[in-house]
Structure 1
């Protein structure tokens, strides 16, 4: 089976050779940085429609983690277009962080439509190195559809634990590798992953993020594997939940 997967990967690489050349010349990365926010703005509308109930349930207890000031301080990493804003509790203070500054235009629109929230900063930084965010300064950190495109998930989780106050919570919703290694979804994930990562700005459909969360040693981990009803079957395997520092 592994030989078949390798052959199919090579065939795809030959078909996509011009794109690989542009990538190694550094041109494709620059193009993606500009156009990816437009793609995500369209995708997140569809994704929110099919995932609305799951997102509402996930964030339903978020207010329980407000600190002594009773004003929930929330950091969203990989905030993108602001697709999660409508699910956040009224009055919480939101800091947005993304490595791609080209999301700013879409983020501004979402912020204008979310007058139930208070917005602080938009920080352009990597999730693995959030130096602008102070230690223990956040009650809640949110991360959705991010770890697929960041190679160093343990580095992200280390930073999340740093910026969370003791007793704060980390909420996550991520597509991951299929746990059924003998199934067709797993097979096609393996075949398509190298080319998929190239096209979708480093996004991997073979991440085992749940293992990184288990290894991060949060004081409490509430994690479920689900199959999201998205049109793209390759990203249907998801994990959802929250962890407490």
Structure 2
């Protein structure tokens, strides 16, 4: 299922986006960003550790509850430089560390985080299922994975448009025709993960927040 987007292509795409990312996408992605931050707060009402995968320029970091300790990772070093600047200038003491990492192969111990947030990431990685496996590996039993992403249309004109737009979108670093079934099938195959929410988001429901909960039991080996 992977292979149509390359790691090198994603790195190059986001290096180009880094200087203007917040200006171009900050408002467009605001509703999804706010929904993910609110869901993370509800998942960790007493505080905890949160991993934001694809933290980018760190635009979300100031808005997380201060009792949640945050680790941010991203494949793009130019994007992370912006995030580091934000942490320093805004004195974000709840941010533990920011690191360059491949989401599919993270240098993070098993069961390290109470919540994992990935905004606009899962359609921009070469192998979404392997990336979700990695999220599950580092998630504590009882924890949540919170995704915000474009979900491809299942029928109609939007599906036709997404199929036509796909070649250009891949050059920009993402795939627009990603179906929800891939997420549902991954959860069913993985075991110990279940979808607890699928919420359409503005604009016009083109984006969605999907929350996965891990059972309290010890996760089974992949």
Q: Which TM-score bucket, shorter chain as reference?
A: 0.7 to 0.9
The correspondence of residues 1-245 of structure 1 with structure 2, limited to 5 A, is: 32-51=13-32, 54-55=35-36, 57-64=38-45, 71-112=47-88, 115=91, 117-130=93-106, 132-179=107-154, 181=155, 183-198=156-171, 200-201=172-173, 203-216=174-187, 217-229=191-203, 236-245=205-214
Higher Rg: 1
- Number of residue pairs matched by the alignment: 204
| In 1, Cα distance between equivalents of 2:89 and 2:118 | 21
Q: Contact 1:94 / 1:117 at 8 angstroms: preserved in 2?
A: no
User: Runs of 5+ in structure 1 lacking a partner?
Assistant: 1-25, 65-69, 231-235
What TM-score do the two structures reach when normalised by structure 1? Answer: 0.73
Kindly indicate which of the two structures has a greater share of residues assigned to helix: 1
The one-character-per-residue Cα deviations of 1:174-206 (angstroms, maximum 9, x if unpaired) are 112112x1x2211111111112211x12x1101
RMSD: 2.6
SS at match of 2:109: coil
Q: Mark the CA change 1:54 to 1:93 in structure 2 (over 3 Å): closer, same or farther.
A: closer
Higher relative contact order (CA 8 A, sep 6+): 2
| In 2, Cα distance between equivalents of 1:209 and 1:38 | 31
